[in-house]
Amino acid sequence: MVRLNKIYTRTGDDGTTGLTAGPRRLKHDLRVESYGTVDETNSAIGMARLSTGADPVLDGMLMRIQNDLFDLGADLSTPDTGETLGFPPLRIVPAQVLRIETEIDQLNAALDPLRSFVLPGGTPAAAHLHLARTIARRAERLMVALAHTEGEHVGVPALEYINRLSDFLFVAARFANEKGRGDILWVPGQNR
């Protein structure tokens, strides 16, 4: 169990932050940017949940994802350096990826087929979910850049999870838009 008695420590006043293990990193370090953007995604999902509470199935899925995103943050803040830690690091596992895929399929089965690209918007819940989706895509881009940085490692399940998350949020936004019937469709060249 995590226990936080004191919120400020002053140790970050020099522009660095501590990871779960390893040396301190600059606050603009790619690893810190990655898990910070995962946290931003989580906050955006929290905002979306203000409008999804009437649908307990969707809201329950989003709550599980919020918990998973803390797992993902823990995964990213504990670099796999090959050194033995005094504790088992928390990592995203394939079962979490499989669960989100199953939930994508569950929501998508209730949707009308797409006839065009969807513009972000519609119901408040859908608009918030679309925003969360774009933030998740930014987190994914940062994580991929981190994974391709010499000396850094990001687990395959973590990369798979963040990729599936944006897919989930897209489908969830459509689901929140009256199961796709309230989608705002892109009309190419409409305003020429």
Question: Across the chain, what does the average pLDDT equal?
Answer: 90
Kindly state the helix (H) or strand (E) to which residue 98 belongs, with its residue range.
helix 94-108
Is residue 184 helix, strand or coil? strand
Residue 13 reports pLDDT greater than 80: no
Q: Could you tell me which residue, 11 or 97, shows the higher pLDDT?
A: 97
Strand ranges in the chain using DSSP code E only, listed in sequence order: 16-17, 25-26, 118-119, 184-185
Calculate mean pLDDT across residues 73-81: 90
In a domain, 52, yes or no: yes
Structure tokens at 33: 């940017």
pLDDT per residue as tens digits for the range 169-180: 999 999 999 898
In a domain, 120, yes or no: yes
Please give the tally of structural domains in the chain: 1
**CATH value at residue 107:** 1.20.1200.10
In a domain, 10, yes or no: no
| Range in 97-111, 157-171, 176-190 the model is least confident about | 176-190
Per-residue pLDDT at 85: 82
Per-residue pLDDT at 25: 66
Q: Write the CB contacts of 176 (distance below 8 Å, at least 6 apart in sequence).
A: 51, 52, 55, 58, 122, 123, 125, 126, 129
In a domain, 107, yes or no: yes
Q: Could you tell me which residue, 179 or 93, shows the higher pLDDT?
A: 93
What pLDDT band is residue 12 in, cutting at 50, 70 and 90? low
In a domain, 192, yes or no: no
pLDDT per residue as tens digits for the range 17-44: 666 777 776 567 899 899 999 999 999 9
Q: How far apart are CA 87 and CA 72, in angstroms?
A: 17
pTM score, whole prediction = 0.91
Residue 11 reports pLDDT greater than 70: no
In a domain, 150, yes or no: yes
Per-residue pLDDT at 112: 86
Q: Could you tell me which residue, 53 or 149, shows the higher pLDDT?
A: 149
Calculate mean pLDDT across residues 94-118: 95
Residues 125 and 16: beta-carbon distance below 8 Å:
no
In a domain, 188, yes or no: no
Structural domain of 64: 25-78+87-183
In a domain, 6, yes or no: no
Q: How far apart are CA 32 and CA 38, in angstroms?
A: 10
